[in-house]
Amino acid sequence: MNAGLAAPAALAPVSWQLQAAEDLRMLERLHAREIGSAVLGQLWQAGFPQGLILLPAGQSEAGAVRQRMGALLQAMTAVPETGRPALDDDLAADYAAIYLTHSHRASPHESVWLDDDQLLLQGPTFAVRAFYRHHGLRVANWRAMPDDHLCNELEFVALMLEQQRPEAALGFLRQHLLQWLPLFTQRVAERADTAFYAELATLTQLACAHCADLLQQAGVDAATVPASPVTCGMS
């Protein structure tokens, strides 16, 4: 057991799960769009990532990434106005390389990591879709952001926690998100050109893993969903 697990357990179950959902939605927003120096300043002023319940202070690795991200945001916020355009350009280029052009070969899609041919919109995508549909959900804009995109997967776990369906949240973390997120994180850490995105990936992995640990500690039974037999078509 990790040292930081005891603190959230003292909270009412619904209370900590809602806080965990807020953490995941925050991380989703940071992965979903290009981040500039203005947003970094807002994060620093808001005390990010100190307030994340899913980044326990008593866990050495989480404490280290918490310290590194805090120091990084402080340093970036201190960049003089004349240096902001270059900082914004670097962040934009790195975001594009990870999430848009995939030039870092660090895809934010589960299928690329778990499919034998490392392709988009393959079996893992449909397995994720089957999980969503089993719980009455669908991705409306899958052409722009497929079901197995990191942001959609984070949002699904958050939604399950908000709806007090922790079994689905834990099942999805185990069956999907945590199967490939460590691979994504390692690649981003190795190839990102900015420390911000490297630390963001690490922070996200630790938060998801800790969320699963907390749910397991609370006695939640993971609910899994069989993979969809459909292998083509995106109806």
What gap in Å lies between CA 204 and CA 102, rounded to an integer?
A: 19
Residue with tokens 């319940």: 53
Average pLDDT, the chain: 88
User: What tens digit of pLDDT does each residue of 9-51 get?
Assistant: 444 456 899 999 999 999 999 999 999 999 999 999 999 998 8
Give the pLDDT mean for 90-104. Answer: 95
Count of all residues that appear for the chain in the document: 235
Share of the chain above pLDDT 90, in %: 71
Most confident of the following: 72-81, 134-143, 179-188: 179-188
pLDDT for the residue numbered 228:
58
User: What tens digit of pLDDT does each residue of 149-195 get?
Assistant: 999 999 999 999 999 999 999 999 999 999 999 999 999 999 999 99
pLDDT for the residue numbered 75:
93
Most confident of the following: 13-17, 186-190, 215-219, 225-229: 186-190
Higher pLDDT, 111 or 229: 111
What gap in Å lies between CA 99 and CA 150, rounded to an integer?
A: 10
Confidence of residue 141 (pLDDT cuts 50, 70, 90): confident
pLDDT for the residue numbered 230:
47
CB count within 10 Å of CB 64 equals 12
pLDDT for the residue numbered 188:
97
If DSSP states are collapsed to H, E and C, what string results for 169-235?
Answer: HHHHHHHHHHHHHHHHHHHHHHHCCCHHHHHHHHHHHHHHHHHHHHHHHCCCCCCCCCCCCCCCCCC
108 Cα distance to chain centroid: 9
CB count within 10 Å of CB 216 equals 16
- At residue 149, what are phi and psi to the nearest 5 degrees? -70, 145
Confidence of residue 119 (pLDDT cuts 50, 70, 90): confident
Q: Name the 3-class secondary structure at 167.
A: helix
pLDDT for the residue numbered 121:
75
- 35-38: long-range contacts, CB 8 A cutoff, minimum separation 24: 35/91, 35/95, 35/196, 36/88, 36/91, 36/92, 37/76, 37/77, 37/79, 37/84, 37/87, 37/88, 37/91
Give the pLDDT mean for 117-141. Answer: 89
pLDDT for the residue numbered 14:
60
Angle between helices 195-217 and 84-95 (to 10 degrees): 60
Alpha helix ranges (H) inside 78-194: 84-95, 110-114, 123-134, 150-162, 166-172, 178-191
